[in-house]
Amino acid sequence: MQGAKLLEGRVVAAAVHERTRQRVDQLRRRGVEPAVIFFRVGEDPASELYVHMKKKRAKELGILSEVIALPGSTTERELLTRLEEKNRDSRIHGILVQMPLPRQIRVETVCQAIDPSKDIDGFHPINAGKLLLGDPSGFPPCTPAGICEIFRHYGLVTAGAEVVILGRSNIVGKPLAALLLAKGPQGDATVTVLHSQSRQIPEHCRRADFLIAALGRAEFVRGDMIKTGAVVVDVGVTRLPDPALPGESRIVGDVHFKEASQVAGWLTPNPGGVGPMTIAMLLANTVKAAECFAG
């Protein structure tokens, strides 16, 4: 590989986990056992794997966790009832509902039903509002927070820089724009958010000192869309059939890695870049929730 240095999310995540482990130990010494509930609805294999990984990591850090797996036929009312029980349970500090949800369940209704003080995903409107207002008492969504933590770890300063975000999702694009607009060394950026209706996407991308691809289109960002020396972050996870292994699939990011590595100054590998950070920030949010509860 030429040029680009790797932003190793795995390494940054390990550092975050170590700090989380110490905070868990401190809580336990005070008699508080941090505990999280993961809800999963339906039989999505990727969701099963993600929840399994979250549970495994939580255990390694000394965080208690329980997975509540509900059938794909679960009604919205049934899920809300189960959520309500966990909202009221003072032994539980964090609640996560794994997305995607079956069609009969509205995402907004579910996000609004989680107690904002247990909303470790940061999807509740109260937490989204706090993020926009720069109020640090909320929970920042995990993937955007993880991206900023990668920048912090590697000493990459976004202040004053041109940041271009591809994708305007509620989980990544929009909250990331809010974080990068906030004051601070991993904020204070000039942020452009591009989406499916944007014009002149390659021209915008070529201006970017930091380019973050979170649109869910395999290898959308080619080498000629990247400014020389730019920081490039690949959030995409698209499963494509593997031509080398019939019947198997491979994960492809939103960035053409080989081309990008010739042009970029810094680049996230995928896998091993943003993915591990999402779990690290989720468990850091869980401990934050437990600390706030303990006072």
Residues 53-112 that bind ligand GUN (CB under 6 A): 96-99
203 CB neighbour count, 10 Å cutoff: 9
Known catalytic residue at 5: no
Can you list the pairs that 184-189 forms with residues at least 24 positions away whose Cβ atoms lie under 8 Å?
Answer: 184/159, 185/152, 185/157, 185/158, 185/159, 186/148, 186/151, 186/152, 186/156, 186/157, 186/158, 187/148, 187/158, 187/159, 188/158, 188/159, 188/160, 189/158, 189/159, 189/160, 189/161, 189/162, 189/163
Minimum separation from the CB atom of position 39 to ligand GUN (A): 9
Q: In angstroms, what CA-CA distances link 203 with 123, 195, 200, 207, 221?
A: 32, 14, 5, 7, 12
Minimum separation from the CB atom of position 185 to ligand GUN (A): 24
Shorter beta-carbon distance to ligand GUN: residue 209 or 234: 234
From 20, 65, 143, 285, residue interacting with ligand GUN (rule: CB under 6 A):
143
Residues 152-171 that bind ligand GUN (CB under 6 A): 171
Shorter beta-carbon distance to ligand GUN: residue 24 or 145: 145
Return binding residues for NADP(+): 167-169, 237
For ligand GUN, which residue has the nearest CB? 99
Known catalytic residue at 121: yes
Shorter beta-carbon distance to ligand GUN: residue 34 or 140: 140
Name the helix (H) or strand (E) containing 67.
strand 64-70
Known catalytic residue at 54: yes
Residues 273-292 that bind ligand GUN (CB under 6 A): 278
Return binding residues: 167-169, 237
Shorter beta-carbon distance to ligand GUN: residue 122 or 226: 122
Minimal CA–CA distance to 294: which of 26, 2, 21, 111?
A: 26
From 35, 111, 142, 164, residue interacting with ligand GUN (rule: CB under 6 A):
142
Q: How far apart are the C-alpha atoms of 291 and 23, rounded to whole Å?
A: 9
Q: How many Å from the N-terminal Cα to the C-terminal Cα in the chain? A: 49
Minimum separation from the CB atom of position 2 to ligand GUN (A): 32
Which residues contribute to the site for ligand GUN (CB under 6 A)? 96-99, 121, 142-143, 171, 278
Q: Which residues are catalytic?
A: 54, 98, 121
